């Protein structure tokens, strides 16, 4: 079994999508182990103190419990979780 994989469709949520993560934040709010991080993109910014382009990144998929709350709470179906090995499962099962 591979590791848990979490993908965000940035065409749905992100600077080019219809959803701005700063106005939603649902995945960040529902995820108990705090897998996601919201941050400005690494692209050049006209003003580094007022970055315009923000995305959500699943930076810590290893702690994902595959609860599915982020998937069901995302209003634009931008999140896909492929459950696999995670620290949570290793702790529970072995």
The reply to whether 87 sits near ligand SF4 by the rule CB under 6 A is: no
Q: How many angstroms separate the CA atoms of 57 and 41, rounded?
A: 10
Q: How many angstroms separate the CA atoms of 34 and 51, rounded?
A: 23
Out of 5, 8, 16, 37, the only residue in the binding site for ligand SF4 (CB under 6 A) is 8
- Nearest Cα residue to 55 out of 43, 38, 71, 42: 38
Q: Which DSSP string corresponds to 61-87?
A: GGG-----HHHHH-TT--EEEE--B-H
Total residues at interface with ligand SF4 (CB under 6 A): 28
Site string for ligand SF4, 35-74 (x = CB under 6 A): x--------------------x-------xxxxxxx--xx
- Could you list the residues that contact ligand SF4 (CB under 6 A)? 6, 8, 13, 19, 21, 24-27, 30-31, 33, 35, 56, 64-70, 73-76, 78-79, 81
């Amino acid at each position: 079994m591979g590791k848990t994989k979490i993908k965000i469709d940035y065409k749905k949520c992100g600077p080019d999508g219809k959803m701005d993560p700063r106005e939603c934040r649902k995945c960040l709010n529902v995820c108990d182990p705090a897998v996601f991080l919201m941050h400005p993109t690494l692209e050049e910014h006209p003003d580094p103190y007022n970055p315009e382009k923000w995305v959500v990144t699943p930076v810590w998929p290893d702690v994902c419990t595959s609860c599915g709350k982020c998937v069901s709470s995302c209003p634009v179906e931008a999140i896909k979780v492929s459950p696999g090995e995670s620290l949570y499962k290793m702790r529970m099962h072995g």
